[in-house]
Amino acid sequence: MTATPTAQSPTPLAEQLAARIELEGPITVGAYMQACLHDPVHGYYRKRAAIGRAGDFITAPEISQVFGELIGLWCAVVWRQMGEPGFLHLVELGPGRGTLMRDLLRAARTVPAFADALHVHLVETNASLEAEQRATLDEEDVPITWSGELDVEPAGVPTIVVGNEFLDTLPIAQWVFHAGQWCTRCIGLDAQGRLAFLNGPGDPELRPPQAIAATAREGDVFETRTPAFNFWAEKLAALDGPLAALFIDYGHNTPVFGDTLQAVRAHRYHNPLDTPGEADLTAQVDFAAAVAAMRRHSLVCDGPAPQAEFLGVLGIAARGSRLMAANPAKAGEIEAGIARLMAPGGMGTRFKALGVRSTRQAPLPGLAQVDMDEPGP
Ligand code: SAH
């Protein structure tokens, strides 16, 4: 076993994890991510409200109100495709500060029958973010409920689900190619008792997708999120009614090798082992693996489309112009925000929109079909 030491300040969670590792042995990257994000006392998503300019990282809805508004219009079009039901569950997974939902509902009000049909459910595990969401959405005149799980009632009803930067927070497993074999990448302790990455024993059960398996070289890392994708695909399928879901996240369309686990704190990247529980921890989304999980649960996928293409089809240019005309003093800021969301090589292409739907639902707007027959594991 080889360990890579890092410089870290012993956060309370680092000490707790070190004690656990001493007792139980090394833990997987997935168990580490789960603890860092969701430990009941020290987990990042349990205690910190870290999104926005003053926080640790910034997301599309915090960059421009146009983002949430366009998603609101997308939802209204989907509702029309569903036959304009008088009762619709609108679920947001990981709603952050509630900004996307606020902007979405503003746009929804331009289609009154759609707004009237809405029953909003926010799925959130972070108590401080839930409090922010409640404050942000205080004045809204649609019914809104909160839960830590996707458990809407009644089931079997038309449902739209949205999740921006939600999939990237789900725990990953990492495998390392070492001495001709794949090993689970773990976190143990180095000689000084600090958290350190190490390779578990070779495991013939670990197999990356065929498309890339033969190209593996010593030290290559493969990341997989299949258990988490299966979990959420099962939850979506269990809603058991007409379903349309939209996931927007950063990631890749075909399987690749690479260690993408990243910790972000105060808008800067840190070593993921440095400050467990005090930095946001995410990893790229393998969209092929997400699609494969959805298909296993009899759901159909549209896209993924690059964010710029998706927002372009939804009319970001026209909406931006109208907003600038109405707020000339803020025109520069509005334009800069939209440019950031659309940037080629930046958010416009690194982020992608994936549609997921029940079989009888029409193809989802703005998301061309992409042939992804090479699923992840
Ligand atoms: N969608 C927001 C926030 C993205 S950050 C935005 O775009 O600004 C990720 C969000 O997912 C946070 O609100 C976090 O608390 C929440 N989250 C992470 N894992 C979760 C889980 N398993 N269940 C519910 N919410 C979760």
Residue-wise pLDDT tens digits, 243-289: 999 999 999 999 999 999 999 888 888 899 999 999 889 999 999 99
**Which atom in ligand 1 lies closest to the alpha carbon of residue 92?**
1
Architecture, CATH, for domain 60-170+229-357: 3-Layer(aba) Sandwich (3.40)
- Please tell me the distance between residue 298's alpha carbon and the centre of ligand 1 in angstroms: 25
Whole-model pTM: value is 0.94
- Please tell me the distance between residue 228's alpha carbon and the centre of ligand 1 in angstroms: 14
Residues with CB under 6 A from ligand 1: 45, 51, 59, 61-62, 94-96, 100, 123-126, 129, 164-166, 169
Question: Residue 213: CB partners within 8 Å, gap ≥ 6?
Answer: 207
Give the integer Cα–Cα distance in Å for 128 and 111: 32
User: What is the residue whose two structure tokens read 């298909």?
Assistant: 295
Res 55: pLDDT: 75
**Which atom in ligand 1 lies closest to the alpha carbon of residue 62?**
8
**Which atom in ligand 1 lies closest to the alpha carbon of residue 97?**
8
pLDDT tens per residue, range 105-164: 999 999 999 999 999 999 998 888 999 999 999 999 999 999 999 989 998 999 999 999
**Which atom in ligand 1 lies closest to the alpha carbon of residue 38?**
19
- Report CA-CA distances (Å) from 227 to 290, 304, 375: 10, 20, 14
Helix intervals (H) in the chain: 12-24, 29-38, 44-47, 60-63, 65-81, 99-108, 112-117, 127-136, 210-213, 226-238, 287-296, 307-313, 316-326, 331-342, 347-350
Name the closest-CA residue to atom 11, ligand 1: 94
Q: Token digits for 187?
A: 């976190």
Give the integer Cα–Cα distance in Å for 22 and 337: 47
Question: Residue 166: CB partners within 8 Å, gap ≥ 6?
Answer: 93, 94, 247, 249
Res 373: pLDDT: 47
- Please tell me the distance between residue 170's alpha carbon and the centre of ligand 1 in angstroms: 9
Res 231: pLDDT: 98
- Please tell me the distance between residue 177's alpha carbon and the centre of ligand 1 in angstroms: 31
Res 268: pLDDT: 85
Domain with CATH 3.40.50.12710 in the chain: 60-170+229-357
pLDDT beneath 70, residues of the chain: 1-9, 47-49, 369-377
Name the closest-CA residue to atom 26, ligand 1: 94
- Please tell me the distance between residue 321's alpha carbon and the centre of ligand 1 in angstroms: 30
- Please tell me the distance between residue 12's alpha carbon and the centre of ligand 1 in angstroms: 22
Helix (H, G, I), strand (E, B) or coil at 103: helix
Res 9: pLDDT: 57
- Please tell me the distance between residue 329's alpha carbon and the centre of ligand 1 in angstroms: 33
